[in-house]
Structure 1
């Protein structure tokens, strides 16, 4: 990329996200680094009205709502050298064509991991206090719970099983350290020494499920992990156990999970489901042992600026001739989201 001038860049995303990703001060910083028109946001690579800008673009700043970067899209951007994704997973966006063309790809997935880990920590702490069930009781009794009712409540020594040392999983492990939890970890790519450094005890998936009070899922959504928590594995979780899923709904067999939840044997905190959203007649909307939220754990509102900041920093590195700090490589997609 020529060093004598700033790289030419184009936004490609749903324009509704642009003001939150790049508020005025950050947009000014971006425009100091790249030749980019903030009024031009591509939603269709075949649109004749954006053909000239795309023909000269060297960088695409992408986000939610960007069309897939297939062979036809890449033909419209012949000088493309880098895709900087102001969101998490690039899996729905990039395909084999992009890798064949040698385009560098960067993602703000690490930045997006922060709010997911924070949300998950909050849910674990509330689950350990049995806050959701006690709230339901309080609605009926209007009285404080008895000592007998709360005898098994509390976070002291609670066993938390973390499935997946992903970016979210690793940030969560950091956040869990100050608390009096016993942390178990399952990740086939993490050995005992690394698990210990992360503050966790490594386990097989089955051992983690049977040994945890609270199980939280942070594995990537790849073919090998689809329904990794199937009926047999859900049955391993101890009676009264809690499942937290802020990763992807496809990691859990929802028919099997629904049966466990309807029976009352388990509780669940679900920010993601399969399908998403669930059909209106799903019992999970009304079960007292289910806390269901509409995919809000990831970056929302003012948290989106954190994603935009990653893109600006990556552009600054490109302009300075430095390697990307958050590059996604083709080989990574076999085991990351």
Structure 2
């Protein structure tokens, strides 16, 4: 980008150089993105914080209101929606059980109950770039989707309708951002409303799901789950979730495939370009 000077920094170092302190835009790292938060007080000329994540929950409480905060919304839609599809298919086609049979050297013909995605109704909590990408991919498998967001719009239901929408869906996918409206949204009451045998897929944030309530449903065998995020996270050794046979867990790695970092920086570059030319970045957070 012409006229843009790029300065590198170590997010683990407590002090910036005089040159670094003059920066007007800060890009935190994707992993453990909160590490540079203490550096904010040293950046007196800061005008924008551009994240590489789709969510802003780790930063929104620390960035001053006069500083533009923008996400990398859109960059993660492809990789994460692909993970969601793989997780749903793995659970429906019983791949965890098949791998266990394989590890034991057992030819398990007719010893497991596989299911099909065709004809399933899927409720998607979060109608942003990831949620809509999941919906598009599900159409190819002849599944029917219902999208839910904080406010209604064409083709999307409002969260106020959620309690009436849950029954009748065999899969519930969480791709919503974490905020005060979504924290513990998937609680004991929510889970009890899900159909028997339904599958919960969380690719959003771990704190959106009440872990204790989910463990109870999984241990009873009434529900199944596929989780890329957990609460707490990382999930500690010995946690009850590890022992639930009806769940598959990945270590917050749904977006971790080749090319995702390039997608994130491409979005970041567009956001910064919009900001430098006097516009409001499309991914800017309204506060």
Query: Is the structural similarity TM-score above 0.5?
Result: yes
Q: Measure the CA separation in 1 of the matches of 2:76 and 2:267.
A: 10
1:213, 1:241 within 8 Å by CA — same for their partners in 2? yes
Residues 325, 175 of structure 1: CA spacing in aligned structure 2 closer, same or farther, 3 A cutoff?
farther
Q: Measure the CA separation in 2 of the matches of 1:189 and 1:310.
A: 25
Residues 207, 282 of structure 1: CA spacing in aligned structure 2 closer, same or farther, 3 A cutoff?
same
Matched, 1:234 2:191: yes
Residues 315, 277 of structure 1: CA spacing in aligned structure 2 closer, same or farther, 3 A cutoff?
closer
- Deviation, structure 1 residue 306: 1.1
Q: How does 1:96-107 map to 2 (within 5 A)?
A: 98-99=64-65, 102-107=66-71
Residues 173, 202 of structure 1: CA spacing in aligned structure 2 closer, same or farther, 3 A cutoff?
farther
Match of 1:177 in 2: 139
Q: Measure the CA separation in 2 of the matches of 1:265 and 1:288.
A: 12
Match of 2:148 in 1: 186
Match of 1:9 in 2: none
Q: Measure the CA separation in 1 of the matches of 2:145 and 2:104.
A: 35
Q: Measure the CA separation in 1 of the matches of 2:107 and 2:21.
A: 68
- Deviation, structure 1 residue 325: 3.9
Residues 165, 123 of structure 1: CA spacing in aligned structure 2 closer, same or farther, 3 A cutoff?
same
- Deviation, structure 1 residue 324: 4.6
Match of 2:43 in 1: 77
- Deviation, structure 1 residue 51: 3.6
Q: Measure the CA separation in 2 of the matches of 1:208 and 1:135.
A: 34
Q: How does 1:139-178 map to 2 (within 5 A)?
A: 142-146=106-110, 150=113, 153-178=115-140
Q: Deviations over 1:192-233 (max 9, x none)?
A: x333xxxx9999323333211111112221122222222222
Give the count of matched residue pairs.
Answer: 285
2:47, 2:68 within 8 Å by CA — same for their partners in 1? yes
Q: Measure the CA separation in 2 of the matches of 1:220 and 1:33.
A: 34
Match of 1:17 in 2: none
- SS of the residue corresponding to residue 181 of structure 2 reads helix
Q: Deviations over 1:116-158 (max 9, x none)?
A: 1221122123333333344445555723432x954x6212201
Residues 324, 236 of structure 1: CA spacing in aligned structure 2 closer, same or farther, 3 A cutoff?
same
Q: When you count helix as a share of all residues, which structure comes out higher?
A: 1
Q: Measure the CA separation in 1 of the matches of 2:97 and 2:170.
A: 15
Q: Return 230-239 or 123-132, whichever deviates more.
A: 123-132
Match of 1:326 in 2: 282
Q: Measure the CA separation in 1 of the matches of 2:112 and 2:57.
A: 46
- SS of the residue corresponding to residue 111 of structure 1 reads coil
Residues 317, 256 of structure 1: CA spacing in aligned structure 2 closer, same or farther, 3 A cutoff?
closer
1:128, 1:158 within 8 Å by CA — same for their partners in 2? no
Match of 1:14 in 2: none
Q: Which has the higher contact order (CA 8 A, sep 6+)?
A: 1
Q: Measure the CA separation in 2 of the matches of 1:244 and 1:97.
A: 31
Q: Measure the CA separation in 1 of the matches of 2:143 and 2:158.
A: 12
Q: Deviations over 1:152-198 (max 9, x none)?
A: 6212201111122133212212222222112123334124x333xxx
Identify which of 210, 213, 217 aligns with 1:256.
Answer: 213
Q: Measure the CA separation in 1 of the matches of 2:150 and 2:63.
A: 30
Match of 1:127 in 2: 91
RMSD between aligned residues = 2.9
Residues 324, 268 of structure 1: CA spacing in aligned structure 2 closer, same or farther, 3 A cutoff?
same
Q: Measure the CA separation in 1 of the matches of 2:60 and 2:190.
A: 33
Q: How does 1:1-337 map to 2 (within 5 A)?
A: 32-38=2-8, 40-44=9-13, 47=15, 50-64=16-30, 65-67=33-35, 69=37, 73-74=40-41, 76-95=42-61, 98-99=64-65, 102-137=66-101, 142-146=106-110, 150=113, 153-191=115-153, 193-195=154-156, 204-300=161-257, 302-319=259-276, 321-331=277-287
- Deviation, structure 1 residue 67: 4.2
